[in-house]
């Protein structure tokens, strides 16, 4: 996977830029990287120009600059990337935190987003109980400067189908990648980004500002952190289509890539 780099707010963001055609911007999940989208990059780049920025402190991107203190800042930073690439309008597909900053970008700059796909994400505030749980996990990882096996036993299953039988090699690689995280990455990147994500404000009252006919909400049917009822709630507010990816948890792009690819290729217009 070839990476490109751009400086935004004094920090270097890495991104993939592959294919030709109408641009599609893919936003990945917290604790993952552009590689989470590899099956979609392969499929979509046959018809589109696919841009995959890596979240601050993830993949090959630098630690977040001090300006990255909320979702609106993340939206602005990704808009800077679009401006630098001379992309006036794109389709935006955001999974988890990618959907959070993606929806913010679409709300603040609707003229820049043609179709919006919100995947395995939730635009309400994080429920208090889970927010405290995630903050406690961040506290533990930052204090230790590492993801212990005990922490990984809690964190890794959150991202996958609950029965634990899907994509075992992806699960093992994800666990190994997290275990290899340095104390610097955890303390300077994953911890502050996690607090921005899980401390986000409630955006649900603004969702009616999204165009229902140009938005779709997609969710793995076994998503643990972002269950289908959250997706259905957002779809009702936006008045848009909702779809579930069978046999998939939070990282539906890797657990059932064929269905995700078919859904995206069928729903995203190729000529704008």
Asked if residue 250 is part of any domain, the answer here is: yes
- Note whether residue 137 is domain-resident: no
Q: How far is CA 104 from the centre of its chain?
A: 13
Q: How far apart are CA 219 and CA 233, in angstroms?
A: 12
Position 272 scores a pLDDT of 66
Residue 59 resides in a domain: yes
Spatial separation of the C-alpha atoms in residues 220 and 159, rounded to whole Å: 10
Structural domain including 35 reads 4-125+202-267
pLDDT computed for residue 162 by the predictor: 83
Query: Is 144 part of a structural domain of the chain?
Result: no
Asked, for residue 272, whether it belongs to a domain, the answer is no
- For residue 55, give Cα distances in angstroms to 97, 246, 256, 270: 9, 27, 23, 26
The rounded radius of gyration (Å) of the Cα atoms in the chain is 17
pLDDT of residue 164: 72
Query: What CATH number is given to the structural domain containing 80?
Result: 3.40.50.1820
The residue among 144, 94, 145 whose CA lies nearest residue 115 is: 94
- Tell me, yes or no, whether 154 lies in a domain: no
Q: Are 73 and 67 within 8 A, CB to CB?
A: yes
Q: Could you tell me if residue 157 is inside a domain?
A: no
Calpha distance 126→124 (Å, rounded):
6
Domain assignment present for residue 192? The answer is no
Work out how many domains the chain is built from and give that number. Answer: 1
> Could you read off the pLDDT tens digit of each residue along the chain, which spans 272 residues?
899 999 999 999 999 999 999 999 999 999 999 999 999 999 999 999 999 999 999 999 999 999 999 999 999 999 999 999 999 999 999 999 999 999 999 999 999 999 999 999 999 999 999 999 999 999 999 999 999 999 999 999 999 998 877 899 999 999 999 999 999 999 999 999 999 999 999 999 999 999 999 999 999 999 999 999 999 999 999 999 999 999 999 999 999 999 999 999 999 999 76
Q: What is the 3-state secondary structure (H, E, C) of 190-251?
A: HHHHHHHHHCCCCCHHHHHHCCHHHEEEEEECCCCCCCHHHHHHHHHHHCCEEEEECCCCCC
């Amino acid at each position: 996977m070839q990476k490109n780099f751009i400086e935004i707010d004094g920090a270097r963001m890495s991104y993939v830029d592959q294919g030709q055609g109408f641009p599609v911007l893919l936003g990945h999940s917290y604790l993952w990287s552009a590689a989470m989208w590899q099956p979609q990059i392969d499929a979509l780049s046959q018809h589109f120009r696919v841009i995959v920025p890596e979240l601050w402190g993830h993949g090959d991107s630098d630690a977040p600059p001090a300006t990255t203190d909320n979702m609106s800042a993340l939206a602005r930073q990704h808009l800077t990337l679009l401006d630098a690439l001379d992309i006036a309008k794109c389709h935006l597909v955001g999974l988890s935190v990618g959907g959070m900053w993606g929806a913010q970008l679409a709300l603040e700059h609707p003229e820049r987003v043609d179709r919006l796909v919100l995947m395995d994400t939730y635009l309400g505030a994080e429920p208090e109980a889970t927010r405290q749980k995630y903050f406690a996990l961040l506290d533990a990882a930052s204090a230790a400067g590492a993801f212990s096996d005990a922490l990984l036993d809690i964190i890794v299953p959150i991202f996958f189908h609950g029965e634990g039988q899907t994509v075992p090699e992806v699960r093992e690689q994800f666990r190994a990648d997290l275990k290899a995280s340095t104390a610097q990455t955890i303390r300077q990147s994953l911890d502050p980004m996690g607090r921005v994500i899980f401390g986000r404000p409630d955006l649900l009252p603004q969702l009616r500002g999204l165009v229902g006919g140009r938005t779709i909400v997609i969710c793995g049917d076994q998503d643990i952190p972002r269950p289908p009822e959250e997706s259905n709630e957002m779809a009702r507010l936006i008045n848009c289509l909702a779809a579930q990816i069978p046999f998939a948890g939070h990282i539906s792009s890797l657990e059932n890539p064929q269905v995700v690819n078919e859904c995206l290729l069928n729903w995203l217009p190729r000529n704008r």
